[in-house]
Structure 1
Amino acid sequence: MTKTWDVLEEIQPTVLRMFKNTIIKDRLAHAYLFEGMRGTGKKDVAILIAKSLFCESPIDGYKPCEGCINCKRINNRNHPDIHFLEPDGLSIKKQQVKQLQEEFAKAGVESKQKVYTIVHADKMTTNAANSLLKFLEEPSSQTLAILITEQTQQILPTILSRCQIISFQPLSPKNLIEKLVEKGVDRNSAPLIAQLTNNLDEGLELSSDDWFAQAQKIVVKLYEVLKKNSLESLVTLQEDWFLHFKEKDQLDRGLDLLLLIFKDLLYIQLGKIEQVVYLNEKQRLEQFALQTSGRRLSDQMTAILDAKRKLHANMNPQLLMEQLVLKLQEGSTFV
């Protein structure tokens, strides 16, 4: 869904304020690098800037009207002077940039202005990045380039030095919660989702994902049996956990969900009830919080973070979880 200036201004106020002033004063740079986490509105702002430049009736001299033919064509990705370049497979190849350069050489089809957006600019091959340098070194006054990345460190320093870098801040959990609720997500579920992603679209997907709903139940069940005996916990791993959390990314998400339970218990002990995210389990968690200590909770959270680290180091998932369960029951950390 296309996002308007007003919507994006709520998400990235600093970025939009800067572009408002720049557009009004006609001082746009020839090349920008938009960097920040996934879901922070980078591509949406790139489209917005293009509309600001091509809109036939901009509001207050900078805000796209969203109703003229140019705004509609840009929203539909079919304006001849607006070009998007995205990875072909795993990378952006030299041939793609070469084709883009051929477009650079042409005059604008309908105006003198041309705008190019390179999505996942960090995925340019070295040859592709070197090919792009010529354009960045000899910019046309009528050409605007916007590079988008989540991995600034993967981009050649020579390209970085020729772009004005614009940093996009992560969506705050509070902001995301309100956006999720506006979209129909249950208010009791939204805080938990907002701890797992900064991305509204991903949050909406999680809210309607049966696998994710079941994952929460299994994680809560595992926590409950941890307070009993190790045998029952290991049985729960075999009968529930391993059948549900099969892939590495699924197991990582399961560990995140487990970590949030221990965080909630700590928040309850500290009297920070407003920061609890497992709202559907709040009453039971308040009872559980009476049965443990802050020191033990801290040790248990450290153990889960260690497990996440070992997961990414490719430790055997079954062995990892069995070790973790035993450590959580001891209340101590991994050796």
Structure 2
Amino acid sequence: MPFQDFIGQEQIIKLLKISLAENTLSHALLFTGPAGSGKETLAFLLAQAVNCREENPPCGECLSCRKTMSLNHPDVRLLTREGTGIRISQIRALEQESLSQPYEGRKKVVIIRDAEDMSLAAANSFLKTLEEPPPYMIFVLLSGRPQALLPTIKSRCRIFPFQPVPEKLITAYLVKKKALLPAEARIFAALSRGKVGLAVALSEGEEFFALRERAYSFIKGLRKLAKKEIFPLAEKLAQEEESALFLDLCLEILRDLFLYRETGKEDYVTNIDYLEFYQNDRYWQQQRILGAISLLVKAKEDLGASVNPKLAFGAMLLEFKEVI
């Protein structure tokens, strides 16, 4: 895949292309951003470009490019966690590999996924390699939590923070590359919050629309929720395999409802197939919507903090009865 087919991060790609053309690419780069933002995809495109010998690298078609993308290139390596983190034994093995010249390409490229998960011993050992790197080595660190990296490691890297990709670009990409209907693509783009990888993953999930329909039924049914139904419903919600996504879908429906009530414009609605509900429902007034959004956000935070799902949903539903 050439650089121009990558969605978003135009400024980063521009800087990388200039560095490649002028042979000034840093020996250590740090790509930061959440999962699904394209860090690893762009890292492999860069690894292709470094060793591609065609006119406008990466071509994506030559033997070197194809070997890189299939993880079969002898000069390109992906370093990942072993167990709970990246161990010092992995870094020491990397240091040994760094002593030898490239086998086929111009450079050796090491991509380190979740670089913040290096143990302290591993990070300190890796720092020595960064301080005196062989001229043929390029390290690309990927991190969703760069604040957890040693400051001394970050100071030796050129940092590229990945920005959210505009929703319209993601929608267009899904329509073109995944053959989705525009209305479907728009839903996935909105839920991805600017992360192309997440939008693609959502679009490929077979259960997505069934889960969205359950979220829709949940929102519609809250007005009739009886106290005796709270704990059975909490237990049922706790059994959802994608509980965080379920809450995101509920939030997206309420967001649609709020914006439609505020503006009366369909352009702001993501779940356009629920428009009749947004137009005709009279129970969900703006204050109720805001109260429900606050409780859903709190439940999502509780789940993220490893609170028991049944307790998190139970507390949310009890407060729903008080607030709405």
Same fold per TM (> 0.5)? Answer: yes
Corresponding residue number in structure 1 for 2:174:
180
**Matched residues in 2 for 1:319 and 1:113: separation?**
53
Letter in 2 for 1:130: N
Question: Which residues in structure 2 correspond to 1:294-313 (within 5 Å)?
Answer: 294-313=286-305
Letter in 2 for 1:67: E
Letter in 2 for 1:299: G
Question: Which residues in structure 2 correspond to 1:64-213 (within 5 Å)?
Answer: 64-111=58-105, 113-182=107-176, 183-197=178-192, 198-213=194-209
Deviations for 1:300-327, whole angstroms, at most 9, x for unmatched residues? 2112222223334454534443443343
Q: Determine helix, strand or coil for the equivalent of 1:92.
A: coil
Identity %: 28
Asked if structure 1 preserves the Cα contact closer than 8 Å seen for 2:191 and 2:252, the reply is no
The normalised TM-score by structure 2 is 0.89
Corresponding residue number in structure 2 for 1:56:
53
Deviation at 1:277?
1.6
Q: Determine helix, strand or coil for the equivalent of 1:66.
A: coil
Corresponding residue number in structure 2 for 1:215:
211
**Matched residues in 1 for 2:41 and 2:170: separation?**
17
More divergent stretch after superposition (115-124 vs 12-21): 115-124
Deviation at 1:124?
1.2
More divergent stretch after superposition (18-27 vs 295-304): 295-304
Corresponding residue number in structure 1 for 2:21:
24
Deviations for 1:85-109, whole angstroms, at most 9, x for unmatched residues? 1112221111111111111111222
Letter in 2 for 1:42: K
Higher relative contact order (CA 8 A, sep 6+): 2
The normalised TM-score by structure 1 is 0.86
Q: Determine helix, strand or coil for the equivalent of 1:34.
A: strand
Deviations for 1:121-168, whole angstroms, at most 9, x for unmatched residues? 111111111111111111222221111111101111111111111111
More divergent stretch after superposition (33-42 vs 310-319): 310-319
What stretches of structure 1 of length at least 5 have no aligned partner? none
Greater than 4 Å deviation, 4+ residue runs:
313-316
**Matched residues in 1 for 2:64 and 2:34: separation?**
29
Cα distance, 1:250–1:15 mapped onto 2, change above 3 Å:
same
Deviation at 1:268?
0.7
Corresponding residue number in structure 1 for 2:33:
36
Equivalent pairs, count: 321
Of residues 210, 226, 246, the one that matches 2:239 is 246
Deviation at 1:35?
0.8
More divergent stretch after superposition (159-168 vs 47-56): 47-56
Q: Determine helix, strand or coil for the equivalent of 1:33.
A: strand
